[in-house]
Amino acid sequence: MPGKDPARSKRLTFELWSPRINGAATARERVIVLIDAARAHLPDDDPMWAALADQLGKYLKEKGFGS
């Protein structure tokens, strides 16, 4: 697309999310912001979702969730 600057777009996206990520007071809050960012920028079929679901599921099972 003429006039579109991918580097500028990437920088603006980083500038939008960076304060939210860095401003999170706890690891839990940071993860929530990162998940929100991923939801906003990754398609539903991105392989990261399957990997995240697998890892989180294993971790929760180890902690007794669902048993």
Strands (DSSP E) found in the chain: none
| First-last CA distance in the chain | 52
Extract the tokens encoding 26: 């706890």
The residue behind tokens 């906003």 is 40
Is 39 within a domain? Answer: yes
List the domain range (segments joined by +) for residue 26: 6-62
Q: What is the pTM of this model?
A: 0.75
Is 1 within a domain? Answer: no
Question: What backbone phi and psi angles, to 5 degrees, belong to 9?
Answer: -60, -45
Residue 11 has pLDDT above 60, yes or no: yes
In this predicted model, what pLDDT tens digit does every residue of 23-57 receive, in sequence order?
999 999 999 999 999 999 899 999 999 999 999 99
Is 67 within a domain? Answer: no
Is 16 within a domain? Answer: yes
Is 31 within a domain? Answer: yes
Extract the tokens encoding 54: 């697998």
What confidence category does residue 5 fall into, taking pLDDT thresholds of 50, 70 and 90? confident
Is 32 within a domain? Answer: yes
Is 10 within a domain? Answer: yes
Domains contained in the chain, number: 1
- Could you give the CA distance from residue 66 to residue 40 in angstroms, rounded to a whole number? 29
